Each structure stands twice: as structure tokens, then as C-alpha cells.
Amino acid sequence: MLKMTDVCKVFRTELVETHALNHVSLQVDEGEFITITGPSGCGKTTFLNIAGLLETMTSGQYLLDGVDVSQLNDFKRAKLRNQKIGFIFQSFNLMPDLNLFDNIDVPLRYRGMPAAERRERIDKALESVGLFSRKKHLPAQLSGGQQQRVAIARALVGEPRFLLADEPTGNLDSNTARGVMELLQEINTAGTTIIMVTHDQELANQSPRNIHILDGRISNGTPAPQQETDKEAAPAVA
């Protein structure tokens, strides 16, 4: 369902050319929980941004549910992002002037969903992260862990097939981080594919499949169980 072949990303300035991703090939199947690790500046976030259609690639092919995204314009990429991808960020990225309800409402607004359906989904999402009673609160009135739960609710409210998480526990203490990780595992168990970038090797070890990126290349990859017998799949090509 997510297949990258020979994907390169080059950042160019007048003086410097940086190869953030260098011929990366990867396939992620439905229901997987993948962690991406690697040192700072290795290309983890660039990979996630390309996977999340926030960044374009310099070359290569990227198929998302069979759709070649390199051919899509901004409108179609945004629509695909809205319908199929949820994001969780290290710094939560909640909008400070909007209460929890309105924060979670944002992706549904862009989907053009009727108000009643939006309300129902938002209430359900808030209940699922245990914050329904605080839906009129502003993000600043919550703890870091609670804010990340709201961000997760916002990412899931549109029922995306992918959840992309960029160091979702990076700003949290270890106890809270464990709680968030457990929540992500529950979400994955319910069927959502998760790709999570992390610096934390302990968290990476909890996922069935870990991809390590070094200098823009996949240096090792734990193949997904179902891919071991799939000859066409390319779990990791550096």
C-alpha cells in the first residue's frame, strides 16, 4: 500500500548540494508498525515528509495505495493527505487559539463533512483518548501528554490508513511516553498502519519492524513477516 522505489531527495543551495535521501526503496504493507531510526540529519524526517506528501521527491517513484503521487497537483495531494494520512508531531502542533474540539475539527473541515457527522466523530475521538470532558479547554490548559493525546485524536478523527509520527514521545517524560506508545500500539492493533520516527532505540525495539537510515540510505531493515516470502517486495534497498 505504500511503495517507494529509488526515491532521492536533494536539497540544493548555490553552494551546497545535500542528498537527504539517496535511492531509498521501501514497501510498507497494511497494518504494519514500522519505526524509523537513525542519527540526527540522516534523513528520517525527510523520509516521513515525503511519505506524508508534505515534501516532493527529486527522483524515484512513490505509490500510495497504487497512486503515483509524483503526478498529483497540490489540490490532489492535499486531498489524499486529508483522507489517508494522519500526522503526529514531536511538539504536538495544536493550534493555541482553538479549543480541543476545534483543533480536532480541522481535518474534517477540509474534508467538507457535515456538522453533525463532524461533531459525532470528534466526540468519539476525544472519548478514545480520555479527554472528552475537556473538549472546551485550550491546549495550554493541558499537560504535554494530554496535548499529544489530542494530537493523536486529531490525526485519527478522519480514520486515515496511515499514521505518520515524528518523534511523538520526544517532548514527554518516560511515563507519559510509555502511555502514548501504548496508545499507538492499540491504534495499530485496530488496523491503522503506523510509521514512527524515533531516536529512542527502546521504543524502536517494541515495533515489529525497524528501518535504520544512515546518510540518506536505508542501512538495515527488519523485513516485515509477510515480506519474507514475497519476492517482489523490496523491504530495504540501499
Partner 1 sequence: MLLYYLRLSALSYKRNPILSTLMVLAVAIGVGAYMVIYTLNYTMGGNPIPHKSSQLFHVQLDTGDPNLENDPPEQLTYLDATALIAASPAFRQTASSKFVAVVEPSNPELLPMITNNRGVFGDFFPMFDVPFLYGRGWDRDADDNLEQVVVLSRDMNERLYGGRDSVGENLIMDGLVYQVIGVLDDWTPVPKFYDVNNGPFDASEDIYTPWNHIVDKEFSRQGNTNCWKAIDGSGLQAFLNSECVWIQYWVELRDRNEEQAYMDFLNSYSAEQKNLGRFERPLNNGLFDVEEWMIEQEVLPDETRILSALAAMLLAVCLLNTIGLLLSKFLGKSGEIGVRQALGAHKGSLFIQHVIEAGFIGLIGGILGLGVAGLGLEGVKYLLGQDLLVTDWIQLNLPVAITTIVLAITATIIAGLYPIWRACNINPAIHLKTQ
Cβ contact 221:212 at 8 Å: yes
Say which residue the cell 485496530 belongs to: 190
Min dist CB 85 to partner 1, Å, is: 8
Near partner 1 by CB under 8 A, which window of 63-71, 88-96, 182-190, 219-227? Answer: 88-96
Q: Which of 93, 84, 68, 208 is nearest to 144 (CA)?
A: 93
- Binding mask 110-129 toward partner 1 (x if CB under 8 A, else -) reads xx------------------
Query: Interface with partner 1 includes 212 (CB under 8 A)?
Result: no
Q: Which is nearer to partner 1, 107 or 235 (CB)?
A: 107
Which listed residue (41, 109, 189, 201) binds partner 1 by CB under 8 A? Answer: 109
Q: Is the four-CA dihedral 85, 91, 93, 99 of positive or negative sign?
A: positive
**Triad 174, 133, 169: Cα angle to 5°:** 20
Distance CA 175, CA 47 (A): 28
Write out the binding residues for partner 1, residues 145-164 only, by CB under 8 A: 154, 158
Query: Interface with partner 1 includes 106 (CB under 8 A)?
Result: yes
Near partner 1 by CB under 8 A, which window of 32-40, 60-68, 74-82, 118-126? Answer: 74-82
Query: Interface with partner 1 includes 29 (CB under 8 A)?
Result: no
Distance CA 45, CA 28 (A): 17
Which listed residue (55, 65, 200, 215) binds partner 1 by CB under 8 A? Answer: 55
Grid coordinates standing for 182?
501504548
Query: Interface with partner 1 includes 70 (CB under 8 A)?
Result: no
Cβ contact 86:163 at 8 Å: yes
Which residues lie closer than 8 Å to 201 by C-beta, 6 or more apart? 37
Query: Interface with partner 1 includes 190 (CB under 8 A)?
Result: no
Q: Which residues contact partner 1 (rule: CB under 8 A)?
A: 45-46, 49, 52, 54-55, 74-75, 77-79, 81-83, 87, 89-91, 93, 95-98, 106-107, 109-111, 154, 158, 166
